Amino acid sequence: MTRIFPLPETAHHIIRQHLPQGGIAVDATVGNGYDTDFLAQLVGDSGSVFGFDVQLQAIRATTQLLRQRGLLHRITLIHASHSLMDEYIPQRFHGQIQVIMFNLGYLPGGNKSIITRADSTLTAIEIACRLLTAQGILTVLAYPGHIGGDEETLRLSGWCQQLDQSHFQVDTVLSHYPKPHAPRLFVIRKMD
């Protein structure tokens, strides 16, 4: 029997194959810190992770989690929109980042009226594509089915279809739940 993995676990499986010890990664939406923690473990003491969130609650929760796990020294947490990542990530890392993760929607356990929005998300993803190294990977977990989520997912899907296929490969992994509003994972690989 084939085992079906939840989409966050699928994203982690893909990233594990692309992020070496000593690597550089970005968690564009730190939330409660679980993806940030995952990235920090992969990069090791010689790597770096930059984490972004607009909610101070998310930055605090992530700080607490990483402190408990002894990983805080590997992370630079930034209380700002992911659409500003090129301004906050030092220039020397531009074009050198192996992995960038996005987990869209709202902060689990937080205020559900504060959500990622299509305009800033697409700006952030465009910037992320420029920050990636050749063969770098970008994962975007999108959640239609909540206010703003349908539009964000639809626009993201359209944006991915417009990417230059000679420079980027896009795969969409659908949830194993056969519902139109089920989450989906976009995996964008930079070819050169």
Alpha carbons within 13 angstroms on the beta-carbon side of residue 156 total 34
Contact 73, 44 (CB under 8 A): no
pLDDT for position 1 = 42
What pTM was estimated for this model as a whole? 0.94
pLDDT for position 4 = 57
Q: Which contiguous run of DSSP H or E holds residue 60?
A: helix 56-68
Per run of 10 residues, the mean pLDDT along the chain (length 192 residues) is 73 96 98 97 97 96 97 97 98 98 91 90 97 97 90 95 94 83 94 89
Tell whether the torsion through CA atoms of 146, 128, 155 and 182 is positive or negative.
negative
